[in-house]
Amino acid sequence: MLLHALDIPAGATGAERSPLVILHGLLGSSRNWGGIARTLAGEGRVVALDLPNHGASPWSEAMDYPFLAEAVAESIAALAPSAMVLGHSMGGKAAMLLALSRPMLVERLVVVDIAPVAYTHTFAPYVKAMRAVSLAGAASRAAVEAGLSEVIPDPRVRAFLLRNLDGRPGSYRWRPNLAALAAAMDDILGFPAVAAPTPYAGPALFLAGAESDYVQPQHEPLIRRLFPQAEIHRLAGAGHWVHADQPQAFIAAVAAFRRR
């Protein structure tokens, strides 16, 4: 499965580098990464992918991490012999599994605010709220947001979810395959058990939000066992959406890692 891509050519100084492939989190898309991708393209080509069942990529009933990793592998193979792969949250789990299973495709790895463990941080209420809103009767995006506000009080979260809304009054639609995401939520929250995995030997940077609880100290031994070269950094003033909370620090960290 080839995935939809936002493909930004390299600036003059980074034309010789392998591409940077960006994988968004659950209910995100390449749209969310446009500004950061364009800035990072100064260091080399950047390709932000829409993962399956998100954005403009194909829908599928499958939504576990082996399926996501294979879809990303096919898309990278169509771009270049290998790439630097950056993944946030769900995309970070897909990136980790790709590095463990197809290391030849991953020149270096950046994992943003996630660990290779199962979580209870579920987005199921968001998916349920999105499915419950009556789009056919919505006269405006504000009306859709009002429907979400009954369950989701945080305006920032609503704004994030509304980036998935396409169309016009009377013909709005959600871009993600919400039914597939709801059915696969346990797989999305988990991380596949890899039998006696061979550690990923390449450079790896784990960027966590200092105000997030996704990457805990007890996760670090497992991270270092699976990714022996892992560097773990926490960015001050950032929660789970590290790149949105501290974009300049995030960009600086990723660019410096890419230049090594």
**What confidence tens digit (pLDDT) does each residue in 3-51 have?**
999 999 998 777 788 999 999 999 999 999 999 999 999 989 999 999 9
Q: What pLDDT score does 170 carry? A: 86
Mean pLDDT score of the chain: 95
CATH 3.40.50.1820 fits 5-119+192-259, yes or no: yes
CB atoms within 10 A of CB 15: 10
pTM above 0.75, yes or no: yes
The answer to whether residue 76 scores a pLDDT higher than 80 is: yes
Over pLDDT 70: what percentage of the chain? 99
Q: What pLDDT score does 177 carry? A: 98
Residues 241, 175, 19, 245, Cα dihedral to 10°: -10
Q: What pLDDT score does 137 carry? A: 83
CA proximity to 90, closest of 133, 131, 49, 36? 49
Q: What pLDDT score does 11 carry? A: 81
The answer to whether residue 153 scores a pLDDT higher than 90 is: yes
CA 30 vs CA 3, 16, 49: distances in Å:
11, 23, 6
The answer to whether residue 237 scores a pLDDT higher than 70 is: yes
Count of residues in the chain? 260
Decide: helix, strand or coil at residue 179: helix
Question: For the segment 159-207, what is each residue's pLDDT rounded down to a tens digit?
Answer: 999 999 999 998 999 999 999 999 999 999 999 987 667 899 999 999 9
> Which tokens is 168 given?
């016009």
In the chain, domain spans: 5-119+192-259, 124-183
The answer to whether residue 65 scores a pLDDT higher than 70 is: yes
Looking at the DSSP assignment, which residues form a beta bridge with residue 173?
166
Per DSSP, 58 falls in state P
- Which residue type is seen at 137? G
Q: What pLDDT score does 195 carry? A: 63
Q: What pLDDT score does 197 carry? A: 74
The answer to whether residue 105 scores a pLDDT higher than 90 is: yes
Q: What pLDDT score does 196 carry? A: 63
Q: What pLDDT score does 216 carry? A: 97
